[in-house]
Structure 1
Amino acid sequence: MEQSKGSLQQEALKRKERLKALRSKQLQNRDPEDGEPENKRSLEEIEEVKHRELKLRNYTPEDEELRERQVPKAKPASVEEKVRDQLEAANPEPVIEEVDLANLAPRKPDWDLKRDVAKKLEKLEKRTQRAIAEPIRDRLKGSEDDLAAAVGAVREDDGDSD
């Protein structure tokens, strides 16, 4: 047990030496103006700031020193002026433009599908018109010959009766 006491004392001595070394470093880091260590000054400044921050708004102290820290009662600002300013800011100058009602109307659920297929449908419509027009032309060409023969026959018949 005595050995453990001796080791504890040795550890305590080592700690004391480390603390002395730290203190000497702090003394070297003194502020040349005041001759006080920086950390000691900062603690005092922090305490002063805490005292400065104390403001009594809702409490009326009896002590004269504390009454100096009391904040005067705040007077409510005119609500009417604030509301008027907000209303003026909220009413922008009206911009009159023509409104396209088609853009305002709700779209059908499949409008995007129709839009995507529209180009393809145009091509198909042109091809369909060509496909329908060709047989009609062929018939007209064939019927023109028949029609011309029929017209010629009618003229011949008309010429005979005169």
Structure 2
Amino acid sequence: MEKAVGSLQEQAQKRKERLKALRDRQLQGRGPDDGEPERKRAAEEAESEEKHRELKLRNYTPEDEELKERQVPKAKPASVEEKVKDQLEAANPEPVIEEVDLANLAPRKPDWDLKRDVAKKLEKLEKRTQRAIAELIRERLKGSEAELAGAVGAVGVEEGDSD
């Protein structure tokens, strides 16, 4: 285990040295000992000269005649009134509603969200309740029909006895 810690420390030390050397190279700039061939450096210098942009003077008024040629003419601001008119015509705001619904303005009760969430479950329960009530009514009607039939049969038997 001590060997692993020692090798990790050695690697960390080497990494620190490489980073320090890299930082030194960046601070000193490129030197002839960078390992790049002179052809490559010459090509990079030529590219940097080609990339040079022409000087444009926007906010500075030069006194020199040569520099006055490079001055950019002042930009004229666009008319704000025309843009605003166009936007207003495009928008055409809707007419204001004259009647105000008091239900929308009145504050809601504190439990309105609970009622909203429970409404679907209550609908299902209401359907089941209606089915159960209908079934109970049917059973009572069947029971009353049997009693009625029994009563009619008993009356018929009584009438037959009296004859």
TM-score (structure 1 length as normaliser): 0.49
- Greater CA radius of gyration, 1 or 2? 1
Q: Which has the higher contact order (CA 8 A, sep 6+)?
A: 2
TM-score (structure 2 length as normaliser): 0.49
